[in-house]
Amino acid sequence: MHLTVTFNPAVDQTLRFEEPLAPDRVSRASSARFDAAGKGVNVAQFLTALGTDAVATGVLGGFTGAFIRERLAATGVSAAFVESDGTTRLNTTAVADGTEYKLNHDGSAVDPETVDAVVDVVRERTPDTVVVSGSLPPGVTTAAVDAIAAAGGWDTVVDMEGDALRALDERYSLCKPNRAELARATGADVSTVEGCARAATAFRETGFDRVLASLGGDGVVLSTGSTALHAGALDVDVAGTVGAGDALLSGALAAWADGADDRTALRTGVAVATLLVGQVGTAPPDLDGLDALRERVSVRELSN
């Protein structure tokens, strides 16, 4: 069983505008949607849609927290969140004239007792894999992430900002930075796919068994120590990019849980991410075309 931990969940509000945004003018959205989100919440939803046993935990509070609980229950996603006195954040993506504007809230402060309660939930569930992902709200530090990794014998996966990744002290089975996070965590030149592979391989040695780096239109790189693999991106009409990295990670985790090799896991991750970016919002996409897309993803080995 996979358990996802999201210390800073969000309701994702996606607004579409028919005209460019401009200052000092009221812009009215032609459509709006609201999704239960936050990186770990996204991963739990995608894993569930892919048929992989998953439970979402973390911290929720207020009317937005209630929305996330209700949405997960309605879509069959198991959840075991800890209640907080604060209000779960509302993040907004405005799409106008082919451009995305992302407006994110830092989140409400979380007290140490609530953090301890989340760690207790992880211990009680005894998962095979724990996925800790997303930003950390005020009051939560990387010590909480290390506490989760050290609390049991599970594999711990992290998907966090570059500075946070660099501050971790425990050993982790996998981290999933994007290109900017990889650059920030390593200070390396990541302008090319080969440079990303070298940076991922070097970053492995700081405390990660594997590094899965998402590179946007350049695909994804996986460094395992023995090999470095690159999977190319597929051409698709992009409707939105929010949650693409979570979809990539979920596809790879689901494939590995089914016993797939690394190449198949990469192909699956790219295929799930491709389906997601073809729609607006972060809800799980229709997976009917997954097998056909996976067959189209090319994977090659790079020099370590």
Flag whether pLDDT at 232 surpasses 70. yes
Give mean pLDDT, residues 80-104.
93
Residue 205 has pLDDT above 70, yes or no: yes
Which residue would you say has higher pLDDT here, 284 or 1?
A: 1
Closest-CA residue to 250 (of 269, 229, 275, 233) = 269
Mean pLDDT of the chain: 94
- 240 pLDDT above the threshold of 80: no
Q: How do residues 21-66 score in pLDDT, each as one tens digit?
A: 999 999 999 999 999 999 999 999 999 999 999 999 999 999 999 9
Torsional sign, CA 106, 109, 113, 117:
negative
Q: Tell me the fold of 2-302.
A: UDP-N-acetylmuramoyl-L-alanine:D-glutamate ligase (3.40.1190)
Considering 12-16, 56-60, 242-246, the range whose residues carry the highest mean pLDDT is 56-60
Task: Please name the amino acid found at residue 83.
Answer: E
Q: Is 24 a catalytic residue?
A: no
Catalytic residue chosen out of the listed positions 12, 35, 246, 262: 246
Residues 166-174, mean pLDDT to the nearest whole number: 96
Q: How many CB atoms lie within 10 A of CB 130?
A: 26
Give the pLDDT of residue 261: 97
Please tell me the least confidently modeled range out of 21-35, 40-54, 169-183, 235-249.
Answer: 235-249
pTM: 0.92
Per-domain residue ranges for the chain? 2-302
- The predicted structure's pLDDT at residue 242: 83
Position 304 scores a pLDDT of 61
